[in-house]
């Protein structure tokens, strides 16, 4: 399981990469592996205000559908439109081309509530 050190993680298996006043969000390598082949992604609308913990997207695979939650509070500023035609990018490149959406942060301190790579790996290994 790949778990990049520079990212932060939610226990619900989203990763967060800080980029100035915004964060990019995707699902972890562990999550995409558990889902299996991703066949459809329902992305949130740009401009939507989300609170930490809100259900904002859905990733569907050949096995199941999984809700994706906002790891922080803010406004969705961008979504990865490439996933509409190539949802398998989530399986192939979960930390790069398979990102889901970007959120303009409302409260930087919420990043402190997220897990570092080691804590996330421990949490994920307890689930499997």
Tens digit of pLDDT for each residue in 8-24?
Answer: 999 999 999 999 889 99
Mention the CATH class of domain 8-107. mainly beta
Q: Output the pLDDT for position 1.
A: 80
Burial (Cβ within 10 Å: 0-12, 13-18, ≥19) of residue 85: exposed
Q: Which residues pair with 22 in a beta bridge?
A: 19, 104
C-alpha distance from residue 90 to each of 32, 38, 67 (Å): 7, 7, 14
Q: Rounded distance, CA 24 to CA 12, Å?
A: 16
- Mean pLDDT across the stretch 89-113? 97
User: Residue 127 — very low, low, confident or very high, per pLDDT cuts 50/70/90?
Assistant: confident
Residue 42 pLDDT > 80: yes
Q: Output the pLDDT for position 128.
A: 66
Residue 126 pLDDT > 90: no
Per-chain mean pLDDT for the chain:
96
Per-residue DSSP letter, 119: H
The enclosing H or E element of 120 equals helix 117-127
Q: Output the pLDDT for position 13.
A: 97
């Amino acid at each position: 399981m790949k778990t990049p050190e520079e990212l932060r993680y939610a226990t619900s298996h989203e990763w967060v990469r800080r980029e100035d006043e915004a964060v990019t969000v995707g699902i972890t390598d562990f999550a995409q592996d558990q889902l299996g082949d991703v066949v459809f992604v329902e992305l949130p609308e740009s401009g939507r205000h989300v609170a930490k913990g809100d259900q904002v997207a859905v990733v569907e695979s050949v096995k199941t559908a999984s809700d994706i939650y906002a790891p922080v509070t803010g406004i969705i500023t961008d979504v990865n439109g490439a996933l509409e035609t190539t949802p398998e990018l989530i399986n192939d490149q979960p930390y790069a081309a398979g990102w889901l959406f970007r959120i303009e942060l409302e409260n930087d301190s919420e990043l402190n509530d997220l897990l570092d790579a080691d804590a996330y790996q421990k949490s994920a290994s307890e689930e499997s």
